[in-house]
Amino acid sequence: MSEAMIKYIVTGGAGLIGSNLVAALNARGETDILVVDNLNHPMKRRNLEGLRYAGYLDKRDLRAALRACEYGSVETIFFLVTCTATTERNLEYLADNNTAYTRELCEWALAGGRRFIYASSAATYGGGEHGYSDAPEIIPLLRPLNAYGQSKQDFDLIALREGWLDRIAGLKYFNVFGPNEHHKGEMRSVVHKAHGQIRRTGSLQLFRSHRPDYRDGEQTRDFVYVRDAVAVTLFFHDHQEASGIFNCGTGQARTWLDLGRAVFAAMGLEPNIEFIDMPPTLREHYQYHTEADLTRLRACGCNHVFMTLEAGVHDYVTSDLARQPE
Q: How far apart are CA 177 and CA 313, in angstroms?
A: 8
* Cα–Cα nearest to 98, from 66, 146, 137, 141: 146
| DSSP label of 183 | G
* Cα–Cα nearest to 8, from 80, 57, 52, 73: 73
184 is catalytic: yes
Q: How far apart are CA 220 and CA 207, in angstroms?
A: 12
Q: How far apart are CA 260 and CA 272, in angstroms?
A: 9
Answer for the pair 152, 124: CB distance below 8 angstroms, yes or no.
Answer: yes
Query: In sequence order, what are the residues at sequence separation of 6 or more whose Cβ sits closer than 8 angstroms to the Cβ of residue 42?
Result: none
Answer for the pair 53, 13: CB distance below 8 angstroms, yes or no.
Answer: yes
Exactly one of 8, 118, 125, 148 is catalytic; which is it? 148
Exactly one of 56, 184, 214, 286 is catalytic; which is it? 184
Q: How far apart are CA 193 and CA 168, in angstroms?
A: 34
Q: How far is CA 72 from CA 4, 11, 67, 236, in A?
A: 8, 16, 11, 21
Residues in a beta bridge with 169: 117, 244
Q: Where does the chain have alpha helices with state H?
A: 16-27, 42-46, 59-67, 91-94, 101-111, 147-162, 190-201, 226-238, 256-266, 280-283, 295-299, 309-319
Answer for the pair 308, 241: CB distance below 8 angstroms, yes or no.
Answer: no
Q: Which residues are catalytic?
A: 148, 184
